[in-house]
Structure 1
Amino acid sequence: MSTDFQSSREALGARLRELRTEASVEGKDLAAKLGWQASKVSRLQNGKQTPTATDIAAWAQGVGRPDAEAELQGLRAGLEMKHRSWRRQLAGGHRGRQAVAIKETEATQTIRGLEVSRIPGLFQTQEYARAIFDANAEFRGIPSTTEAAVEARTRRQDALYEPGKSFRFLVCEAALYYRSCPADAMAEQLDRLYNVVGLRSVELGILPFGAELRRTVPHAFWIYDKRLVIVETISEELWLTAEDDILLYERAWDWLSESAEYGPPARRLIGRARASLDLA
């Protein structure tokens, strides 16, 4: 069983458990109500069994949260899909997808990423993340679960301090200037990014304006070890696991990294963007 599949199934199970706990329903009581063996409830919420669409519908009804079914069905539908529709994944808001991100991060030793127009989620402040989630919820017309999503994104950042993990990111300089939030929140975000440069587990490169590139910047993507590449588009995520695809994205990352500024030069670029903010 692929690690990304299992991580996604565990994230779905964790959400099932969370809904049951929030409803103050014991596992054995839920099983009795649904006519299941108690072991089935345990297997589902521990990511040991893949729920059917019928199981999901029954669980949502059983814990008194029929409104959560769309979110759960979206998480289930994404388990084995290469093309993961945002419409399905975010049907119940951002919360579920952030749980998947936590599981993927936990299962990964080295994450490499490229961000073109925003700060990577692993480095975002709460205010910056809140603005991103709010805007995306409005854009997609989905339920607002911003506070839960921000909490999950913040919890995911604990991985930055775990021994043995490595985070290597490239960020286009434009992302330091594009503002998805008020100037004061952006200033706080840039201060955070400035300090990230000094973290032992992080290698952060800034691709400056005017840099000579062996390959032009394509789109944002994240590489999880050598097993998975996730690419975001407006309508869907691509989960790529084929060896040829992974090698191609690794080459793109390597070529772009040749033109990035690291260490003190990267901090100077971040500082310059910070100084450009009108905080009057």
Structure 2
Amino acid sequence: MSSSPSSSAQAAREALAARLRELRLDAGLTGRDVAARCDWHPAKSSRLENAKTGPSDDDIRAWCRACGAEDQAADLIAASHTAESMYVQWRRLQRTGLRRLQESYVPLYERTRHFRVYSSRVIPGVLQTEEYARALLATIAEFRQLPDDSAEAASARVARSHVIREGGHSFALLMEEDVLYYRYGGVRAMSAQLGYLLSVMPLPSVSLGIIPRTAPRRMWGQETFTMFDDQRVHVELLTAKVTVTQPSDVITYARAFAELSKMAVHGSEARALVTAAISVLEE
């Protein structure tokens, strides 16, 4: 696993910066030459070439013009947009509310055939009850100082989860055993949530694995991540969502998921862990 989930985004920024540098060298120009032709400070050229500053679309057009490579601008702008979309702060994603963010994922969920989810902190979103989701999302809204539309967002999240009961989708879900004990919404909400887990485990589309606390670790715990087919991975950080699309990185997450799966129990053993967590709530 990469040293940081945001490494793919940084690698994309650095690749773009390297392409700008190559255009300058191919044109036989110095950084100062480019700065003069673009009418900006020489330090800006250095920052762009070293990926210290992300270029705007106009910066890319000006750079390509200065290097006599205007035909390269469109491709470079597209690469820049891809790099910036990889690492997006939650505040930016959630600025229009938690409900709209939940709804924005519906097309992705509907077109994905195979989901792989690892969760180290909360019940996976597609398995959340509305009461549990509402409590969790209210906590998120409060921490991030967002308008609290947690009730509407929870309803949207549950509606989005209809895909687990439709044909053509499969879900391989892993969670750490401790997730069963992290309480959101009080005893009643947690009891209903854990009971719901037991009810969905027999679904043919769902494979739910739980990694026991006592399992010998083949893989260290990761940030919560969701794999959408073999095309992309969403990694949830405290401050941002990272979207991984580089094939080699997607493969690395698939390997991590496979290793985590080897530590998990399924079927009756997983049900026993959920039942044990329910019994603790009832004490």
TM-score above 0.5? yes
Counterpart-to-counterpart distance in 1, 2:96 and 2:133 = 18
Residue of structure 2 in register with 1:205 after alignment: 209
For structure 2, the residue ranges without an aligned partner over 5 or more in a row are 1-80
Is 1:220 the counterpart of 2:253? The answer is: no
Letter in 2 for 1:275: S
Residue 91, structure 1, aligned to residue 87, structure 2: no
Task: Read off the aligned partner of 1:257 and give its amino acid letter.
Answer: S
2:114 paired residue among 110, 119, 122: 110
Distance in 2, Cα, partners of 1:100 & 1:228: 16
Report what 2:127 is aligned to. 123
2:244 is matched with 240
Percent identity of equivalent pairs: 36
Superposed, 1:169-180 pairs within 5 Å as 169-180=173-184
**Cα offset for 1:100?**
2.1
1:85 is matched by which residue type in structure 2? Q
Matched residues in 2 for 1:158 and 1:253: separation? 24
TM-score relative to the length of structure 1: 0.70
Q: Distance in 1 between matches of 2:269 and 2:189?
A: 23
The secondary structure found in structure 1 opposite 2:281 is coil
Task: State the Cα RMSD in Å.
Answer: 1.6
Q: Is the contact made by 1:121 and 1:153 (CA closer than 8 Å) also made in structure 2?
A: yes
Answer yes or no: is the 8 Å Cα contact 1:92–1:142 preserved in 2: no
From 221, 237, 257, give the equivalent of 1:253: 257
> 1:173 & 1:78 partners in 2: Cα distance?
36
| Correspondence list, 1:43-54, <5 A | none
Q: Post-superposition shift, 1:111? A: 0.4
In the alignment, the residues of structure 2 paired with residue 274 and residue 93 of structure 1 have an alpha-carbon distance, to the nearest angstrom, of: 33
In structure 2, how many angstroms separate the alpha carbons of the residues matched to 1:161 and 1:210? 32
Q: CA deviation at 1:95?
A: 1.3
Where 1:258 maps in the other structure, the secondary structure is helix
Deviations 1:120-160 (CA, angstroms, capped at 9, x unpaired):
11011111000011111111111111222112111111101
The yes-or-no answer on 1:165 pairing with 2:169 is yes
* Preserved contact between residue 112 and residue 223 of structure 1 (Cα < 8 Å): yes
* Local SS of the residue matching 2:254: helix
Does the Cα contact within 8 Å between 1:176 and 1:270 map onto a contact in 2?
yes
**1:49 aligns to what?**
none
CA distance in 2, matches of 1:91, 1:79: 21
**What TM-score comes out, normalization by structure 2 length?**
0.69
Q: Give the corresponding residue for 2:157.
A: 153
Number of residue pairs matched by the alignment: 203
Distance 2:118 2:277 in 1: 19
Query: d(CA) in 1 for partners of 2:86 and 2:145?
Result: 24
Give, as a single letter, the amino acid of the residue that structure 1 aligns with 2:204.
R
Partners of 1:138 and 1:217 in 2: how far apart? 26
2:138 corresponds in structure 1 to 134
SS in 2 for 1:226: coil
| Residues in 1 aligned to 2:96 and 2:168: alpha-carbon distance in whole angstroms | 34
Q: How far did residue 162 of structure 1 move?
A: 1.1
The structure with the larger Rg is 2
Change (3 A) 1:152 1:78: farther
Is the Cα contact below 8 Å between 1:130 and 1:147 reproduced in 2?
Answer: yes
Question: Residues 28-47 of structure 1 correspond to what in structure 2 (within 5 A)?
Answer: none
Change (3 A) 1:91 1:78: farther
Unaligned residue ranges in structure 1 (runs of 5+): 1-76
Q: Partner residue of 1:74?
A: none
Runs of 4+ residues deviating >3 angstroms: 77-80
Tell me the alpha carbon deviations over residues 200-228 of structure 1, each in whole angstroms, 9 at most, x when there is no partner: 10000000011012111111100000000
Query: Which secondary structure state, in structure 1, belongs to the residue aligned with residue 139 of structure 2?
Result: helix
Q: Distance in 2 between matches of 1:197 and 1:218?
A: 23
